[in-house]
Amino acid sequence: MLQALAQQVRGDVRGALAPLERALSLAEPEGYVRIFVDEGPAMASLLGTAGQHGIACDYVRRLRMAFSGTEVPTHTTQSLVDPLSQRELDVLRLLGTDLSGPDIARELVLSLNTVRTHTKNIYAKLGVNNRRAAVRRAGELDLMSRGTDRRPSGLR
């Protein structure tokens, strides 16, 4: 990204596109937005040029929308490096209720130790350290509504 901006400052906009394309190809799978927006108007201009040249069109459009403060809906589960398994999603949904750990284990017909393991994995994958934060983050990522047909029988 910095190489692209440096090329742009030198007046070599075409030369800036190759390092920008590389930066976009690395950032897109992770869904990075802020790193580009933080570079300001120079990056917005460069992204506009990249879009005109057909470089990562959908991602560039999303980034340009972020500059204007408008978010483009995305399939957010892709932003998780390690997506939650179906069983982890089941546990996550129950973490959003008032059920205790043992109650969740009974509802899902799992051992308490297995529920604890799933919970630790959920926290790690979502980058949180408690139940409330996990539920909040899952809501931001729209994970709570995915796969609702596989919810435990007591929640249908």
Q: Residues in the chain with pLDDT < 50?
A: 71-78, 147-156
Judge whether 62 and 50 are in contact, CB under 8 Å: no
pLDDT of residue 73: 45
Domain ranges in the chain? 2-67, 78-151
> CA 140 from chain center: how many Å?
9
pLDDT of residue 67: 82
Judge whether 42 and 34 are in contact, CB under 8 Å: no
- Whole-model pTM? 0.46
Judge whether 14 and 49 are in contact, CB under 8 Å: no
- Enumerate long-range contacts of 21-26, CB under 8 Å, 24 or more apart: 21/50, 21/55, 21/56, 24/50, 24/55, 24/56, 24/59, 24/60, 25/56
Fold (topology level) of 78-151: Arc Repressor Mutant, subunit A (1.10.10)
